[in-house]
Structure 1
Amino acid sequence: MKVFTTEAGRVRGRPATHDGGIVAVLGISYAAPPFGADRFRAPRPASAWDGLRDCTEFGPVAPQSAELPGAPSWSPGDEDILTVNIWTPGGEGDALPVLVWIHGGAYVLGSSAQPDFDGAALAGQGLVVVTLNYRLGFEGFGHVPAAEGEDACPDNRGLLDQIAALEWVRDHIAAFGGDPGRVTVAGQSSGATAVACLMVMERARGLFHRAVAHSAVNACAPVAVAARTTAEVAAAAGVSPSRAGLLSASPKELVAASDQVVDAYRRNPWSGQRHYDPAIYGPVVDGDTLRTDPLTAIAAGAGREVDLMVCHATEEYWLLDAVGSSAKITTDNQLATFAADFGLPAELVDGYRALMPGAPVLDIFLAVYGDLLFVEYSSRLAESHARAGGTAYLSRFDRRRGGEGGPVRAWHCADVPFAFGTLDEKSVHFLIGGPPGPADRALSARMMRAWADFAATGDPGWPRTGAATGAVMVWDTEEGVGQTPVVAFRELWRTAGFPLLAP
């Protein structure tokens, strides 16, 4: 067991599972429990402690209804949820680059304790790896109205938690061998959009220097939409949509009410955009904690000083269909309704049909929706950042695999275990099509090296993205860089327009 001395107190870690040279220090509180008098408030600093704290187990996860393979589930009464975990190959004085990971999960599920986020293999590349928990669902992203004379509860409490964790890293990471002057923040899916938000939030300025965004999702809510969600959730919970009413509902009751609202959208094909994949929470453009959608802000030059590395998967949305979280769009009429609900012109859908001859309607829907939510948004983050004068790199995950249950596509989330080097975790085998082969391990090694090099030097190993098009690294079991013009699908969006969405 190894002991580290921070300004808050001493902590003891344990040898990491995958590598005896890496020490894991788990479940360190970076902020006070956000419940009781602090519920719906901005995070407060955690208290210091006397003596030696044993940090060999993950902390409790945020309130949620999900039960994920290999990961702990939430139990009512768990309150010390704002914790970080550290994997380090070094100690005080080493000044290694730091990578801070923000998990995804549609802002309602997931945790830093998922096996695919084990930081040992990445730390073996010469990094100090930090993962964190933050408030999810209504606790983290629900809009809480303030009555006259009341102090406002901030929107985007989950993002404020992430900022508090980054402040903790700034103040304490040197004790674990990390360099607070070389911090990279990384995330996938909703975690990637959180990274993009942090890039443009004034409160996060200077807390990190590089950013990695895998499959950022196109969804930020104006206050009016967030307030409508609050009204729906409060009604489902049987309480008033006021601060007092919402505080009277327990976290468990608000989780159950949120699930009820989501289920109603899923069952109602005439409920508009939310019917297709009802993620009802997300960052709120409140004009204060988050002033505008991050893509708009990045295009205007916000966060220009932060180097950015972006990745998306080729077939993002096929995973959401495979796990049953998306609507089944199988007829031409349903496809036309979908396009109308999102304001997509008919020529866009017709363009996909022409590029996918013989494809069933469901595949056309999955391709269009995946590009709308993930591919186009992520790509535009990189291109807009470069156009505004920032340094950006773009890549695409294109690894596929056959299997007895059918092909495993280059879909959402499959890139994460490759980048973390966690391919042997049984919980990820559904994502990647079974145990890894030699070519998979070689691909994982290249992706880990790119992350480590980017965190250390700002250069992942391929040319920067230009103002409009540029080099795109293609992650596949055969190494290569795609020096190609904008692909045909992306050209359709350039001519048809690209709407920004609200959850």
Structure 2
Amino acid sequence: MDDVFQTASGTVRGFRAADDVVAVLGIPYAAPPFGARRFREPFPAEPWRGVRDATEFGPIAPQSAELPGAPVWSPGDEDVLTVNVWTPAAEGGRLPVLVWLHGGAYTFGSSAQPDFDGTALARAGLVVVTLNYRLGFEGFGYVPGAPDNRGLLDQVAALRWTRENIAAFGGDPGNVTIAGQSSGATSVACLMVMDGARGLFRRAVAHSPASVFHTRDIAVSTTREIAEAAGRPATLAGLEAAPPEALVAAADRVVETYRNDPGSGSRHYDPSLFAPVLGGDTLPADPLAALAAGAGREVDLLVSHTTEEYWLLDAVGSCAKLTTDQQLAGFAADFGLPGTLLDGYRAALPHAPVPEVHLTVFGDLLFAEFAARLVEAHAGAGGRTYLSRFDRRRAAADGTPVRAWHCADIPFAWGNHEDPRLAFLIGGAPTPADRELARRMVRAWVDFAATGDPGWAPVRDAIADTARIWRPGDQPPDALPTAPRALWADVAMPVLRP
């Protein structure tokens, strides 16, 4: 197998990530989105001569996050629209392709995180593509006179790059699956209903999709807040004149304002400023409504979520700590949740303290309920749809609970559970039962990408009866008590309230 590949823009040389897998990193799929191209749709990548060394990840999108095991953004890094490919096949192969969209609240993260090393999935039979896209204000901030949802447009450009180039890496451009986690999973739902992405993929996987979308009014208001914090006018010229690092810092200041003000509404509880903006040319309709109306019916969909999503956000300190019944009632009021919903959760969790009730409700509000509605919308419109839940729970060596929290499923689905940098996500070193769980999950995800069948029945009418529950073989089959979904019947989504 050769380490040199020909793309439409030029020749690239990768390296052996394993004896039978070549990794090719940091390939531009679009031009740097700065200067005259800032706040615009992605432009084609500039071609190059000679052989481009592709052995390191490209720069990540502007952000202030410093994630374990991942690079950080530095002002001046501009070539941020790149893809990475892991392949086990030479040119002429026709393997199924998986294109991955990382999460991070549309604000942070990158394709260079250790969770997303594609070696294990490539060894299992996929050509894996991961990508960086614009985040934060650069990708999802409202800018007068500029297209909305530039991060989603970047993702579409990466899918077009995949269609045009993946055959050179042994992949089948007619058998592409898009997949993502958290905000990356919600991006998957958006792409399923976007006209610009139609025909670029056959299947979709959404891990823990998040329910928040923004109306134009919310997006405009957020831009005003960030512009004011940056000391700039909220105009195209004023925002273009602000360096990316100034807008990153300004957004961080706005986040802290919400975080420190319990009276600031729903954003106080986990201040996230960016989300896909509904109503424009890029994303005219709420994906739930569009899916229910039949958009994306031809795309096979696999939705997965964890059973204790919000415990991770609490553990890393990104959400408010609620300890009293009064705070819990205020939380429900700020999100427009009926009192009967809290009563139902208390009945289902009779001995749980306020913090646990809060985390359970918040996790269902942002993730589990939205995942269920995605499944129902797609299946109800005639799309082939699958659901799974990750419920790996145990006690760590020191007796603390190992939670089935947000992101905990990713190292298992990617086969990267042995990486010590991911020990925090999975609660320590994997056990033999964990390794068997990872083997089963990798096989299911590869089979779905290849054939559209992960190995269990698609959803028909009863979601609970057709969901695959992922647990290690040595874990008792008892389930975490949850409130009935009927409690959510009158709760509208998106959930963010101005």
TM-score by length of 2: 0.96
Matched residue SS, 2:99: strand
Mapped contact 1:384–1:467 kept (Cα < 8 A): no
Mapped contact 1:31–1:83 kept (Cα < 8 A): yes
Mapped contact 1:192–1:212 kept (Cα < 8 A): yes
Deviation at residue 42 of structure 1 after TM alignment = 0.3
Deviation at residue 291 of structure 1 after TM alignment = 0.8
> Which residue is equivalent to 1:475?
470
Mapped contact 1:116–1:420 kept (Cα < 8 A): yes
> Which residue is equivalent to 1:149?
none
> Which residue is equivalent to 1:500?
494
> Which residue is equivalent to 1:197?
190
Matched residue SS, 1:284: coil
Cα separation, 1, equivalents of 2:209 and 2:283: 17
Deviations 1:439-495 (A, max 9, x none): 111111111111100000000000001134340000110299x9x9x964323223x
Matched residue SS, 1:285: coil
Mapped contact 2:185–2:207 kept (Cα < 8 A): yes
Cα separation, 2, equivalents of 1:98 and 1:110: 22
| Runs of 4+ with >6 A deviation | none
Matched, 1:178 2:179: no
Cα separation, 2, equivalents of 1:497 and 1:114: 35
Mapped contact 2:163–2:200 kept (Cα < 8 A): yes
Deviations 1:160-192 (A, max 9, x none): 000000000000000000000000000000000
Matched residue SS, 2:484: helix
Matched, 1:143 2:138: no
Identify unmatched segments of 5+ residues in structure 2: none
> Which residue is equivalent to 1:126?
125
> Which residue is equivalent to 2:68?
69
Deviations 1:384-415 (A, max 9, x none): 10001100000000001312261111110000
Matched, 1:407 2:407: no
Q: 1:53 to 1:457 in 2, by over 3 A?
A: same
Deviation at residue 497 of structure 1 after TM alignment = 3.1
Matched, 1:13 2:7: no
Q: 1:341 to 1:502 in 2, by over 3 A?
A: closer
The letter of the residue matching 2:241 is S
Cα separation, 2, equivalents of 1:455 and 1:369: 31
> Which residue is equivalent to 2:111?
112
Cα separation, 2, equivalents of 1:445 and 1:492: 36
Mapped contact 1:408–1:431 kept (Cα < 8 A): no
Cα separation, 1, equivalents of 2:134 and 2:484: 36
Matched, 1:160 2:161: no
Deviation at residue 382 of structure 1 after TM alignment = 1.1
Matched, 1:257 2:250: yes
Deviations 1:267-319 (A, max 9, x none): 00010010001111010013310011111211111111100000000010011
> Which residue is equivalent to 2:352?
359
After superposing the two structures, state which structure 1 stretch, 223-232 or 467-476, moved more.
467-476
Mapped contact 2:63–2:135 kept (Cα < 8 A): yes
The letter of the residue matching 2:3 is K
The letter of the residue matching 1:250 is P
Matched, 1:384 2:377: yes
Question: How many residues were matched structurally?
Answer: 491
Mapped contact 1:382–1:392 kept (Cα < 8 A): yes
Matched, 1:441 2:440: no
Mapped contact 2:91–2:169 kept (Cα < 8 A): yes
After superposing the two structures, state which structure 1 stretch, 288-297 or 100-109, moved more.
288-297
Mapped contact 1:401–1:432 kept (Cα < 8 A): no
Cα separation, 1, equivalents of 2:44 and 2:251: 29
Deviations 1:4-61 (A, max 9, x none): 1222211111011xx3210000000000000000000000010111111110000000
Identify unmatched segments of 5+ residues in structure 1: 146-151
Cα separation, 2, equivalents of 1:374 and 1:489: 15
Alignment of 1:70-469 (within 5 A): 70-145=69-144, 152-403=145-396, 404=398, 406-469=400-463
The letter of the residue matching 1:3 is V
Cα separation, 2, equivalents of 1:451 and 1:220: 27
Matched residue SS, 2:161: helix
Percent identity of equivalent pairs:
65
Mapped contact 1:2–1:23 kept (Cα < 8 A): yes
Deviation at residue 200 of structure 1 after TM alignment = 0.3
Cα separation, 2, equivalents of 1:452 and 1:41: 35
Cα separation, 2, equivalents of 1:301 and 1:448: 30
> Which residue is equivalent to 1:490?
485
Cα separation, 2, equivalents of 1:235 and 1:90: 52
The letter of the residue matching 1:330 is T
CA RMSD, 1 decimal: 1.5
The letter of the residue matching 2:451 is T
Cα separation, 2, equivalents of 1:497 and 1:140: 29
Cα separation, 1, equivalents of 2:121 and 2:146: 37
Cα separation, 2, equivalents of 1:159 and 1:53: 27
The letter of the residue matching 2:421 is S
> Which residue is equivalent to 1:148?
none
Cα separation, 2, equivalents of 1:238 and 1:446: 53
Mapped contact 1:195–1:213 kept (Cα < 8 A): yes
Deviation at residue 379 of structure 1 after TM alignment = 1.4
